[in-house]
């Protein structure tokens, strides 16, 4: 019987990127464990309703199987003694910067609603490859990148969801641009996908950089000298520097300075960092 006649609806629709011809080798996973002292040093602001943290680029937001101190959400819950730490929005693991937690369900509901209504304004700092000549707005829809070997990758496609990103160069030099980035929508990997579409991928981006195969190589073998030669940084150079939640009732704008790894990258390449 022909193979096509044996296909069921589920196998006929199988995404080949989910299949693997051989079993993965079991590699030990070394979870990043946060210490109470570290978390305390990351706190930007705390009051009766919110706790605002400057997340490093090697920390995950959501709980993991390695215990409460292996994620920012778990560490905040343990540190504060709360039954639940209400994460208002997440940052990708390798993106650093401002993260906001609500301390009670009422504040969480208000802030999460403001987030859905686009009343929360976020600004990022990004190191882009190439020298961006001037401000540019990318208004291009995003959806799944069906051609990529990385299942999570997004791409500009006509049938995608609306996505709007504003890039403003702050300094240029040495073949790179330090840019302020403001998003008008909140799509998955929006800044990184739009930066790649512009031809100015972020330094250190394993998925949207020179080759998505870098991500697969990193998953299989970890960080290496070969990857460093291609990517220049161990993580994507993206930092959430500013959150304005005043429209949601906050009394201030929360800001986090550019982290040490991005500062060092800029200094090594002559990129001025505005105060």
As a whole number of Å, the end-to-end CA separation of the chain is 70
Q: How far apart are CA 57 and CA 65, in angstroms?
A: 19
Q: Which two tokens stand for residue 151?
A: 């299942």
Backbone angles phi, psi at 255, to 5 degrees: -130, 145
**Interacting residues of 7 by C-beta distance below 8 A, sequence separation 6+:** none
β-pair partners for 127: 178
Q: Counting Cβ atoms within 10 Å, is residue 275 exposed (0-12), middle (13-18) or buried (19+)?
A: exposed
**What is residue 68's DSSP assignment?**
G
> How far apart, in whole angstroms, are the C-alpha atoms of residue 3 and residue 185?
44
By annotation, the residues acting in catalysis are 92
Tokens of 64: 């993991």
Q: How many residues does the chain have?
A: 275
9 to 18, 89, 147: CA distances (angstroms)? 16, 36, 22
Q: Please name the residue that has the structure tokens 């960092």.
A: 273
- The answer for 157, left when phi > 0, alpha when psi is -120 to 50, beta otherwise, is beta
Q: Which residues, at least 6 apart from 183, have a Cβ–Cβ distance to it below 8 Å?
A: 122, 124, 164, 165, 166, 190, 191
Residue identified by tokens 């995404």 is 15
């Amino acid at each position: 019987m022909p193979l096509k006649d044996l296909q069921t609806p589920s196998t006929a629709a199988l995404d080949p990127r989910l299949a693997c011809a051989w079993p993965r080798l079991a590699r030990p996973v070394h979870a990043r464990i946060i210490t109470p002292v570290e978390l305390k040093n990351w706190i930007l602001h705390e009051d009766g309703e919110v706790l605002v943290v400057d997340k490093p680029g090697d920390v995950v937001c959501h709980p993991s199987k390695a215990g409460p101190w292996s994620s920012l959400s778990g560490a905040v819950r343990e540190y504060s003694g709360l039954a639940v730490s209400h994460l208002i929005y997440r940052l990708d693991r390798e993106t650093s910067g401002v993260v906001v937690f609500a301390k009670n369900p009422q504040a969480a509901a208000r802030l999460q609603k403001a987030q859905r209504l686009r009343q929360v304004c976020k600004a990022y700092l990004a190191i882009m490859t190439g020298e961006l000549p001037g401000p540019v707005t990318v208004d291009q829809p995003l959806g799944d990148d069906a051609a990529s070997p990385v299942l999570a990758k997004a791409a500009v496609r006509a049938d995608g969801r609306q996505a709007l990103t504003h890039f403003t160069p702050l300094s240029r030099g040495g073949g790179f641009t330090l840019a302020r980035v403001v998003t008008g929508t909140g799509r998955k990997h929006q800044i990184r996908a739009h930066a790649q579409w512009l031809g100015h991928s972020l330094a250190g981006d394993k998925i949207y950089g020179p080759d998505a195969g870098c991500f697969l190589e990193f998953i299989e073998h970890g960080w290496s000298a070969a990857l460093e030669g291609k990517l220049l940084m161990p993580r994507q150079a993206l930092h959430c520097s500013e959150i304005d939640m005043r429209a949601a009732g906050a009394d201030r704008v929360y800001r986090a300075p550019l982290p040490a790894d991005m500062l060092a990258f800029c200094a090594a390449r002559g990129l001025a960092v505005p105060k």
